[in-house]
Amino acid sequence: MKHSTALLVLLLTVGFISAQNDPNKKEWIQLFNGKNLEGWDIKIKGHELNDNYRNTFRAQDGKMVVSYDQYDKFNSDFGHIFYREKFSYYLLVVEYRFLGNQVQGGPEWGLRNSGAMLHSQSAKSMLKDQDFPISIEAQFLGGSGTGNRTTANLCTPGTHVEMNGALVTQHCINSKSKTYHGEQWVRVEMEVLGSERIRHMIEGQTVIEYQKPQVGGPNVSNFDPAAKPDGKLLEEGYISLQAESHPVEFRKVELLNLVGCKDPKASNYKSYIVKEDNSKCVYPK
């Protein structure tokens, strides 16, 4: 009888743990909470950290919005909004759309142009007059109404990558995506695996892939030299979204952390984890 009771308790405990933790259920982190900009830092060229110049970044109607309705003219006021926690191995999903007209004074290339900066330096480490963070950019572009203009491209402010085993120093490389005209919503997934590999995906298809993201090269100005150790592989970093002179909205910014517990005996084991960190494991008592 005692053995039967002990077995029943064990089975109930295992069943409870299993019910509480589905190892295949993905635990997405909502970086943008849909209500406000809590958890984010703002850095706009020519302004101090968290000086949200002319209310460029705002939470509005459940979306994160980049707006220029309080600008008279754009004067190289390139802006970025940074999530305050850094990540190394993850899947990032961003849903965006361009709308309205580009603000007067914006550069020609800034038309329907934004992006997600990956493995970025922190907002705090940027100097006041720095234009772009040293980072890997998943560039978002909208079509102009005619012709082809791919999105989820790669740009490299102060960085390089490798493709097919060769170092690539070209600043921007187009993806294989189709063109998205008008004000439609576009969903981009970015799989970031430390310094191993990064993939940009749209509609379930990989549109560009590269390896060994690293510090190096031009296309960033007025930075602190200490923040740019050329040749250093980018293993981790911050995530930021761009304001480059065209209004843009983000309705989803979510992340699946791929670093975590890989021990099946733990109550928080997840089957999709890529980078093992068993210091995060929690075991039933």
Residue whose C-alpha is closest to residue 137's, from 122, 112, 159, 168: 159
Confidence of residue 4 (pLDDT cuts 50, 70, 90): low
Q: What is the chain's percent helix, strand, coil content, to nearest 5? A: 10, 35, 50
Distance CA 141, CA 191 (A): 19
Gyration radius (Cα) of the chain, Å: 21
Mean pLDDT (the chain) is 94
Q: How many C-alpha atoms does 239 have within 13 Å on its Cβ side? A: 23
Q: Which domains does the chain show, CATH number per domain?
A: 24-259 (2.60.120.560)
Predicted TM-score of the model (pTM): 0.92
- HSE, side-chain direction, 13 A CA sphere, residue 41: 19
β-bridge partners, 94: 188, 253
Using the predicted structure, report yes or no on whether residue 16 has a pLDDT greater than 80.
no
Q: What average pLDDT does the segment 46-56 reach?
A: 98
Bridge partners of residue 63, in order along the sequence: 60
Percentage of residues in the chain having pLDDT higher than 70? 93
119 Rama class: left (phi>0) / alpha (psi -120 to 50) / beta? left
pLDDT digits (tens, 9 = 90+) for 104-134: 999 999 999 999 999 999 999 999 999 999 9
The count of other CB atoms within 10 Å of the CB of residue 50 is 13
pLDDT in the model for residue 238 = 99
Q: What local confidence, expressed as pLDDT, does residue 7 receive?
A: 47
